Amino acid sequence: MNKTILITASILGVTGIILGAFGAHLLKELISVEAQQTFETGVRYQMYHAIFLLFVGNSVLIRQRAKKQIYFLTLLGIILFSGSIYGLATNVLTTFDFKMIGFITPIGGLLLIVSWIIIFINFLKMKS
């Protein structure tokens, strides 16, 4: 499981950097400043959670069961949260109306919060 978590973290990190560069350079002329800031929020949260998964995958302080839960919640959370933000920010460039599925953004955020709560509980249960 650790290897899977670390590989996923690396992929999220690489794609976060690519999307950040894409947003900063190529989207600048195509979307509003507000939409650029929204896109940047998606990138920022993706990168935060890539680093979070690097920590989880490398930690011996987190039980395997908790790692598995954190991994799946974080991955799904990033897909729903950042993914929907990318769609909403670039909505004017597509024929699909991402506003119709905008309700999944807070669901993704909730999954990310739950993954942090699981790691918190795991640390509370640790023996000194």
pLDDT (0 to 100) of residue 94: 85
pLDDT (0 to 100) of residue 98: 82
Structure tokens at 76: 């799904």
Band (82; pLDDT cuts 50, 70, 90): very high
Instruction: Quote the mean pLDDT of the chain.
Output: 94
